[in-house]
Amino acid sequence: MSASEFVIDVHDVTKKFGDRTVVNNIAMQVRHGEIYGFLGPNGSGKTTFLRMLCGLLKPDSGTGQCLDYDFRTQSSEIKKHVGYMTQRFSFYEDLTVEENLDFIARIYGVPQRKAAVEKSLERLGMVERRKQLAGELSGGWKQRLALSACLIHEPQLLLLDEPTAGVDPKARRDFWDEIQQLAGAGLTVLITTHYMDEAERCNRVAYISYGNLLASGTVDEVLKNSKLTTWEVTRLRPEATARQAGGNLHELAEKIRGKPGVEQVVAFGSTLHVSGSDAEKLRASVSPLITGDYHWKQIQSGLEDVFISLMETAKDNYS
C-alpha cells in the first residue's frame, strides 16, 4: 500500500524522559475508516504516543506521516484535523454544555458556529441538556460532551485516550455504537482501552508494555501469534455451592502455580484459566491433576489471557 492509504504511518517513534525510554521504536499503520485499539497497562507509553501523533509532544526520533503531514514537522496542520479526547474530563465545569461546545468551536474557527453547535448537540442527544452546567453531568454525559467537542470541527482522525474509563456499562455500549457509526461513515479512530470486550470491537489492535510494541494485528492474528495454550478448569459437581466451588478452585490454583510450564492461573467466575507458552510442559504439569472433582478442557486463549502473558514477560523500563 502507498502511504496515502494510511491515516497514520509512522516508524521508529521514540521518546525519552531523562534516562527512561517511555516509547521505544514504535511503528504503527492505521487505515482510513479503521478502529484501531491501542492496549497496554498504565504507564506503558500509550498516552505519550498519542500526544506525539497530534503534535502536543515532540518525539526524540521517528519518521512518518499523520493525515499525509509529517508528524514531526507539520504538527500545526495535523492539529486542525484531529479530535483528541483525553483521559480526564477537561472542559469548563462552570459553563453549560452549549457554552463549552461554542467555546471549542471558536478555538477551531468553525464556520457557521451556531449551526455546528446545534448539530453537535443533536448528534449525541444533548439538546435537552444544553443549558446544564458541565460540572453537574454524570460520567456518561460528560463523556458525550467530550466526544461532541472532539467532533465539532469535523476531524478526519479521532484519538481517544481511555474514553470509557469510569462510566457504566450502558454508557460504554452507547459510546461504542456511536464510534462504530462514525467509523462506518469514514472517520478513523485510534483508541486506548483496558477493556478486552472493547478491544474485540476494533478492526486491529496493538499491545504496548513498558514502551515496547509486543503484538499487533487483528484479534485473531494476535491470538494465533501468541502461541499461548490455555486450559479451562470447572467443577464436575454443579450441586456444590458457589462458596465451596470458589474455595476448592482457590486451593487447586495454589497447587498449580509455580509448576513447570504454568505461567498464569487466573480465576474467571466459577472457572480457572491455566496458561503457558510451552504446551508440552504445561500438559505434563496439569495431567496428574485431571482427576476427581474437576473437568479440564483445552480452549482457545482469550485476549485477556494473551495480554496478561505479555504483561508478565515484559521488562520494566522504570529505573
Average model confidence (pLDDT) for the chain?
A: 89
Q: What are phi and psi of 153, to 5 degrees?
A: -100, 15
Q: With bands split at pLDDT 50, 70 and 90, how would you rate the model's confidence at 289?
A: confident
Name the 3-class secondary structure at 119: helix
pLDDT digits (tens, 9 = 90+) for 160-181: 999 988 888 888 898 999 999 9
The predicted model scores a pTM of: 0.87
Give the domains, in start order, of the chain with CATH numbers.
Answer: 3-224 (3.40.50.300), 229-300 (3.30.70.330)
Rounded CA-CA distance 13/79 in Å is: 18
Task: Give Cβ neighbours of residue 71 (< 8 Å, ≥ 6 apart).
Answer: 10, 52, 53, 55, 59, 62, 64, 65, 78
Q: With bands split at pLDDT 50, 70 and 90, how would you rate the model's confidence at 315?
A: low
Query: Helices then strands (H, E): number in the chain?
Result: 11, 14
What is the pLDDT at residue 102? 95
Whether the predicted pLDDT of 247 surpasses 60: no
Whether the predicted pLDDT of 246 surpasses 50: no
Cell numbers given for 278: 510451552
Task: From residue 276, give the alpha-carbon distance in Å to each of 136, 179, 196, 235.
Answer: 48, 35, 20, 21
Rounded CA-CA distance 219/35 in Å is: 12
What is the pLDDT at residue 237? 63
